[in-house]
Amino acid sequence: MYIFVGCLFMFYVSVSSFFYKKSHLLIMLMLLEFMSVSVLLMLLNYLCGFNCDFSILIYFIIILVCEAVMGLVLLTLFVRCHGSDYFQTSSIFLC
């Protein structure tokens, strides 16, 4: 029970930080990964509590890896087009 509450607190902190820290793309991607890891821990806690099949975790981890790779690709393209990952100095439509 305490693990679930801790994961829920981690998720809440990451979501609130995501909405307040919108200046750098890298910080936003790290907060998205933090949200995903907290959801993964909540799912693991739920599956352990009910003795369910753990194959859904493999699919969820695959989705997390694909999300991380796409985020890094977008970060690389954004830095190559604009020179930094700072949102305030660049417009999305310039690239």
How high is the pLDDT of residue 88? 64
Which of the listed CATH numbers 1.10.287.3510, 3.30.300.30, 3.30.750.24, 3.40.1130.10 matches domain 2-94? 1.10.287.3510
**Tens of pLDDT along 52-88?**
888 889 999 999 999 999 999 988 988 888 787 776 6
Cα(49)–Cα(1) distance, rounded to whole angstroms? 9
Structure confidence at residue 22 (pLDDT): 78
**pLDDT surpassing 60 at residue 92:** no
Residue 84 makes CB contacts below 8 A (sequence gap 6+) with 90
Reduced DSSP (H G I as helix, E B as strand, rest coil) percent helix, strand, coil of the chain, to 5? 80, 0, 20
Q: What count of residues does the chain have?
A: 95
